[in-house]
Amino acid sequence: MIDFHSHILPQMDDGSNDVNESLQMLNLSYNMGIDTMISTSHYYVEHESIDAFLKKREEAYRLLLSNINGTDALPNILLGAEVAFFTGISREKDISRLCIENTKCLLLEMPFCCWSSLIIKEVQGLTTRGITPIIAHIEKFFPYQHKTNRIDELLNLDVFVQANAESIIQKECRRLVLKMIRNGTVHLLGSDCHNMLDRPPNLEYACKMIEKRLGSRFLKEIDHNGRRCLQSNTRRVPSTLSPV
Ligand SMILES: [Fe+2]
């Protein structure tokens, strides 16, 4: 399984505090059956330039690599970013540099507010540039879009949609996320792990819940979606599964 959302690089953001914690997070993930971790440190345009972010990310990554023993059992790491939406994102010439390495896929954190049509248009603008946004933890935005159809407008774009493991493990959002997995509107999972204490790697528990509630074919489909996403340049294609 691929973890599409994690904050494992040391001292990059509010995630891992140091190399030792990063290694523990990676090791726990590996023991949970994660073969690939997408490292998605927060990127906020108002805090730093893309150049500065990428330089800092490279240094954190090198520091981590220099502390990995060749015999450590760890997942593969692919570098990306969790890019907070900003006005003008669709016109930012360097935005594709924040895509998951070797792909055109960009983990996008939508704003925590009621979305305007302009916000949806900006996301659409990314897709017309050949970038495939991965909408981070979609379930967190439902309360803000109450009595609008913005969620549907977003899901109708050429995007991948990611949900957090925690939202499946905890009861509050479980029904919503399982429904979205069942009807093919959630495609990818992430732990959104930040540390080893209160936001540790947890994807295994969510996978077990999906298997129990929906059956293993949905887990396979999520894994398949992830592999296809990483192979891209491909754009999203509809689920091969029929709803149950
Ligand atoms: Fe995150």
Say whether pLDDT at 73 is over 90: no
- CATH number of the domain bearing residue 181: 3.20.20.140
How confident is the prediction for the chain on average, in pLDDT? 94
Confidence band of 236 (pLDDT split at 50, 70, 90): low
* 244 CA to centre of ligand 1 in angstroms: 30
Cβ atoms within 10 Å, residue 161: 23
With respect to residue 113, please indicate whether it lies within any of the assigned structural domains. yes
With respect to residue 238, please indicate whether it lies within any of the assigned structural domains. no
* 67 CA to centre of ligand 1 in angstroms: 24
With respect to residue 236, please indicate whether it lies within any of the assigned structural domains. no
Tell me the torsion sign for CA atoms 116, 118, 122, 128.
Answer: positive
First to last CA, the chain: 23
With respect to residue 241, please indicate whether it lies within any of the assigned structural domains. no
With respect to residue 125, please indicate whether it lies within any of the assigned structural domains. yes
Report which of 232, 135, 110 is spatially closest to residue 188, judged by C-alpha positions.
135
Number of domains in the chain: 1
* 192 CA to centre of ligand 1 in angstroms: 5
pLDDT on residue 71:
77
Confidence band of 243 (pLDDT split at 50, 70, 90): very low
| Angle of helix 203-214 versus helix 216-231 axis, rounded to 10 | 130
| pTM > 0.85 | yes
With respect to residue 243, please indicate whether it lies within any of the assigned structural domains. no
Contact 19, 41 (CB under 8 A): no
Strands 76-84 vs 160-164: parallel, antiparallel or unpaired = unpaired
Say whether pLDDT at 221 is over 50: yes
Say whether pLDDT at 240 is over 60: no
With respect to residue 18, please indicate whether it lies within any of the assigned structural domains. yes
The residue range of the domain holding 76 is: 2-231
With respect to residue 216, please indicate whether it lies within any of the assigned structural domains. yes
